[in-house]
Amino acid sequence: MFTVSLFNLSADARVASPRFGPRELGEVTEADLLALLEAFSLLPTLQVHESEPQIIIASDAGKFIVRTGQGKLFLYDARDTAEPYVELTAAEIVREIGGTASVEASATAAPEAAAPNRTPHRGIAICMLAAGLCLNGYTLYSVFYIDDVNQKPAVKVITDTTELASRQAAVIGRYATGAETGDRYIVVGSDGRVRFGEISAGPARPESSDTYRIGRYDEQLCLTTPDSGVIDITGLNTLVYYRDIYRRTK
């Protein structure tokens, strides 16, 4: 069984709209989850673009987020959606996060393959390695050690309205680790939101986003977010996130 929540989706995942908001489906079977994911992948592009729908799945393997675009499904580790996603089919997602199909496959495997199985979460991490070969070495490392890299420090949020307005005006913009395919970018908006994405040679890849507040820890100016950790502001044109340097592009 899987525990499923939807965001901006109808209960059958056939329609995406902001009016649906977050909703809990509760526990669903493997077959129901498969049908839900298949319907999700068929959403019209315009609905996906306007609503940014997603399916949140919890299983014994962990918690995951599934997004869609161009008829494809993208699996993220819910601990950090800024990390590389894995493009999988609906059936592959169900198997990877702990469906019975993977258990049955293990039971029928040859004896020599009966060594201790990788957990589904480790399998996803390995897939992420394969998908992320074009990224820099640290990104690959962070798939396994993400919890240790950006532990959120105690941030004191700036409350002085004059300073806050000045700091926000200075930091708003787009920053990137480079200009090549596979490089990542951060967009700091004037609306109090920050977006994370990856440069793609083909169709634009799904972005993740979070809210931010400006503050300091140990005199270090930073953006603090509820779910995405802390982004250091190290100069007028530079951000540091997960030890990677992002330079202003606009």
Q: What is the mean pLDDT of each run of 10 residues along the chain (250 residues)?
A: 91 88 89 94 87 91 90 85 80 83 42 45 58 49 45 84 94 94 92 91 79 93 91 93 90
Give residue 237's identity as a one-letter amino acid code: N
pLDDT tens per residue across span 163-193: 999 999 999 999 999 998 888 899 999 999 9
196 DSSP β-pair partners: 186, 208
118 with 69, same domain: the answer is yes
**Exposure string over 140-177, b if 16+ CB within 10 A, otherwise e:** bebbeebeeebeeeebeebeeeeeeeebbeebebebbb
Residues 221 and 117 in one domain: no
Do 20 and 135 lie in a common domain? yes
Look at the pTM and tell me if it is higher than 0.75.
no
Residue 160 CA to residue 194 CA, distance in Å, equals 21
Question: Cα 186–54–241 angle (5° rounding)?
Answer: 20
Pair 126, 44 in one domain = yes
Domain boundary among 86, 116, 149: 149
Residue finishing a domain among 123, 149, 175: 149
Query: What's the CA gap between 141 and 243, in Å, rounded?
Result: 12
Cα separation, 230 vs 228, whole angstroms:
7
The pLDDT assigned to 129 comes to 56
Q: Are 109 and 145 part of one and the same domain?
A: yes
- For residue 32, the model assigns a pLDDT of 93
User: In angstroms, how far is CA 25 from the centroid of its own chain?
Assistant: 21
- Give the range of the structural domain holding residue 73, as residue numbers without chain letter: 2-149
What pLDDT, on a 0 to 100 scale, did the predictor assign at position 131?
A: 54
Structural domains of the chain, count: 2
